[in-house]
Amino acid sequence: MSTPKKIVIAGGVALGAGTAAKARRMDENAEIILLERGPYVSFANCGLPYYLGNVIKNRSKLLLHTPESLRARFNIDVRVYQELVSVDRDGKTVAIRNINTGETYEENYDKLVLAMGAKPIVPPLAGIDLPGIFSIRTVPDVDNIKNWITQVGARKAVVIGAGFIGLETVENLLSLGLSVTLVEKAPQILPPFDSEMTAVALDELDNLGVETILGDGIVRFTGTDRASEVVLESGRSISGDLFILGLGVRPNSDIARAAGLELAPNGALKVNAQLQTSDADIYSGGDLAQIVHRVNGKETWIALAGPANKQARVIGMNVAGGEAVFNGAQGTAIVGLGQVVLAMTGMSERAVKQAGLDYFVSYNTTGHHAGYYPGSKDLTIKLIAEQKTGRVLGAQVVGREGVDKRVDVIATAISAKMTVSDLAELDLAYAPPFASAKDPIVMAGMAAENILAGDVEAVYEPTAVGDNAVVLDVRRQDELKDGVVPGAIHIPLDELRDRARELDPSMNYVVYCRSGLRSYVGCRMLKGLGFAHVYNLSGGYTVYEMREKAALSAAPKEPLAAAVRR
């Protein structure tokens, strides 16, 4: 009979607590020690913004497991307020500090799991340590914010960073009755998305009364007994009673670096498919480690809860003697803001371009369920596909209803290495309240398949085919009130066949409608009538308007001093 293993896990939450529980299920006799530097060993950190906004009213609902419940159910030695200090790989020991007493002691290990995750980015700016400046990473962080709001009677908040947590924080601060200013250094909100797909969220922020400042970073905070203003790179000062930093996170890898473990350039730990580090007896994952991107097979860093939970299962099996493999992730994510939802999976167009892949893009806008059934809401899908094969590389979905369903279908398709033609053939559930007979996924696949097959040539800007071009609007007359592409001529689709003689076949024609479907029909019609140079504006006026809004919001901001001088 083999000697029971001793497994030490540094860090709780998804990776650490999940690893401990799985390891116990695999090996009843192992000694398992779980260290957590804070008071809560297993909590729903993705729920923190919603606890802040009182959507989650009961604080205890955030606590998935307590030290007592982990001990009772899994016989795990849980030690809170204790943190890993250093690792002696040769001696296979770790130094641990009791935060309450300052005492440091050692434990030996057979297998060590580093699950310290990531830490919020807090730049070393003047005034950064003033009271009233917070990050949202733990339950005590949110406790402190809620107490501060009550203590100072906060009425105005400034959220710095427009990523997923930043937008969720904005929404929940609004629900508390605070006015909110959102500041983002990048030229767009939600930087992982392609910029045009975020335009709907920019509109929603405006509808919610949020002032959004893009392309302007922070320089310093000012105040006496507490932070009262943040100064931006443009020279502008924004006052507030409360400042929340959502600048992102970085791997908490200082101890791993000191232990000589191999790191990626961004500081994340390098691990193999079994989630072993460069030391075979030390494992890691979650926000602390690089993983393989399922689309391109390259190492990447994906700090999301979904992959972390699955990695916990793999590590738990392997530290107990298994040989499980983690095959990577593809960055599927979703966020809601007011009445709109944005989701993505796989690679963005920006990422595909940076990777040097040969690709094409297709947009499609349609109702989230049958148009004749009351309540249908627009849903826009952007597909990024491999040029030669049509394999789906990535997708982004925005709308008000049905976004989660569609992104999950496409995420599954990407995982299975399906093509746009496969999407067009999917047999998806249909009833008028839930979808159309041709689901938005199927329609998106068909639109992309038409591009792949060469049935239509797509362009993404009205000016894409040069000066010798005519922009042709084939929408109905009543749709023109929604806006038009400057310089476009208007011939409704149902009149196009009879009025084609009004057009010069030697010209280049960029055809558009509201969503891209009727303009596709128009392109095929003109081709059949002998027009050689016809292009479909992919996504139609809907995506054109999204692109225009994104470009306007990304326009460079001149320094305040220059504006004042002028």
Helix (H) or strand (E) holding 318: helix 305-319
Residues 6+ apart with CB under 8 A from 203: 340, 549
Name the nearest CA neighbour of 187 among 175, 196, 179: 196
397/413 Cα distance (integer angstroms): 14
Do 441 and 345 touch, CB atoms closer than 8 A? no
| Spatial separation of the C-alpha atoms in residues 267 and 214, rounded to whole Å | 27
Q: Which are the contacts of 521, defined by CB distance < 8 A and separation ≥ 6?
A: 493
Say which of 46, 56, 273, 500 is annotated catalytic. Answer: 46
How many other β-carbons are positioned within 10 Å of the β-carbon of residue 217? 16
Nearest alpha-carbon partner for 350 in 198, 502, 225, 452: 198
Tokens of 300: 């990447």
Taking CB atoms within 8 Å and a gap of at least 24, the contacts of 122-130 are 122/245, 122/247, 123/218, 123/247, 125/218, 125/219, 125/220, 125/221, 126/219, 126/220, 126/221, 127/220, 127/221, 127/222, 127/223, 127/227, 128/221, 130/221, 130/223, 130/226, 130/227
Distances (CA, A) of 97 to 102, 108, 114: 6, 14, 16
**Side-chain half-sphere exposure of 217, counting CA atoms within 13 A:** 6
Contacts of 528 (CB under 8 A, 6+ apart): none
Q: How far apart are CA 317 and CA 390, in angstroms?
A: 37
Q: Is 46 an annotated catalytic residue?
A: yes
Q: Which of 70, 108, 72 is nearest to 90 (CA)?
A: 108
Residues 6+ apart with CB under 8 A from 396: 193, 194, 197, 342, 343, 344, 348, 381, 382
**Among all residues, which ones are annotated catalytic?**
46
